């Protein structure tokens, strides 16, 4: 079985694949101070809950990470407990994706992985919106090239910044308020967050479609996608495990022998 891990700044998503089927998946808070041994304990606990183990079931590990310290700990954990090296998305790893930005090394591993999975599933051109620590918008061409995108502060990051800088403001639950015109401070913040981010999605996706072509499909992923999606007009598909699918494809490209 394949263990696929996507390490984000805020959350880490883990999946177990049996061939191409995603059997189990988990979403955890990312902790940058965990050692390789601590990560192993967490992973073993998750696998034990579903009757799996390091020794019997894991035959491969693929990782994308935007947190260098965690990347190193994941590498050490894999080598120490699985006794083989993981495939880590980065330079030297086959992705099958041409990156046409001015500096391809700047593009985050998660964005590359998402683009691969979206193009494989929906073809091109397409747009991927990932709701994470940042809200990222990635454009893929009709030929499957990564063209670039946009980065905006994420829903939770923006809300936390607002609350921390406002003496009379408070944390909120991410739910729809009674009306756009809030009758309380909480409802006013909820309105600004929910409808404000929905408007951002519609605006940026609309402008990308002006460049890519009308009808370009958009695919949403990330932990906070369900919060904003119901209030947008621009999102066509929701793929909560898109990044894991992309990791599976990268693993296959780097382990399966080319057929002559």
Catalytically annotated residues: 110
φ, ψ at 196 (rounded to 5°): -65, -45
DSSP-assigned beta bridge partners for residue 153? 134
Sign of CA dihedral 167, 172, 178, 180: positive
Q: What's the chain's Rg over C-alpha atoms?
A: 19
Contact 146, 110 (CB under 8 A): no
H-run or E-run covering 237: strand 237-238
Alpha-carbon span 144 to 140, nearest angstrom: 6
Closest C-alpha among 113, 69, 114 to residue 93 = 113
What sign does the CA torsion over 160, 163, 164, 170 have? negative
Order across the sheet with 145-153: list the strands: 98-99, 145-153, 134-140, 126-131, 218-221, 237-238
* CB neighbourhood size of 84 (10 A): 11
Q: Is-cis flag, bond preceding 125, omega within 30?
A: yes
Measuring CA to CA, which residue among 130, 140, 113 is closest to residue 212? 140
Residue pair 231/194 in contact by the 8 Å Cβ criterion? yes
């Amino acid at each position: 079985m394949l263990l696929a891990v996507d390490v984000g700044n805020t959350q880490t998503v883990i999946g177990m694949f049996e061939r191409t089927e995603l059997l189990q998946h988990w979403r955890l808070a990312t902790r940058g101070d965990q050692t390789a041994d601590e990560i192993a304990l967490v992973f073993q606990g998750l696998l034990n809950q579903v009757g799996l183990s390091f020794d019997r079931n894991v035959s491969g590990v693929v990782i994308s990470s935007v947190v260098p310290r965690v990347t190193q700990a994941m590498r050490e954990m894999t080598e120490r407990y699985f006794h083989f090296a993981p495939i880590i998305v980065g330079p030297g790893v086959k992705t099958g994706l041409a990156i046409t930005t001015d500096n391809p090394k700047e593009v985050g591993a998660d964005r590359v992985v998402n683009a691969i999975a979206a193009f494989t599933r929906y073809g091109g051109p397409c747009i991927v919106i990932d709701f994470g620590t940042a809200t990222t918008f990635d454009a893929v061409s009709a030929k499957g090239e990564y063209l670039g995108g946009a980065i905006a502060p994420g829903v939770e990051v923006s809300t936390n910044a607002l609350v921390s800088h406002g003496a009379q403001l408070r944390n909120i639950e991410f739910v729809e308020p009674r009306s756009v015109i809030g009758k309380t401070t909480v409802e006013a913040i909820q309105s600004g967050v929910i409808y404000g981010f929905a408007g951002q999605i519609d605006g940026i996706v609309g402008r990308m479609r002006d460049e890519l072509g009308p009808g370009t499909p958009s695919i949403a992923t990330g932990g906070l996608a369900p919060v904003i999606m119901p209030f947008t007009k621009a999102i066509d598909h929701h793929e909560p495990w898109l990044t894991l699918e992309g990791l599976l494809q990268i693993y296959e490209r780097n382990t399966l022998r080319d057929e002559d």
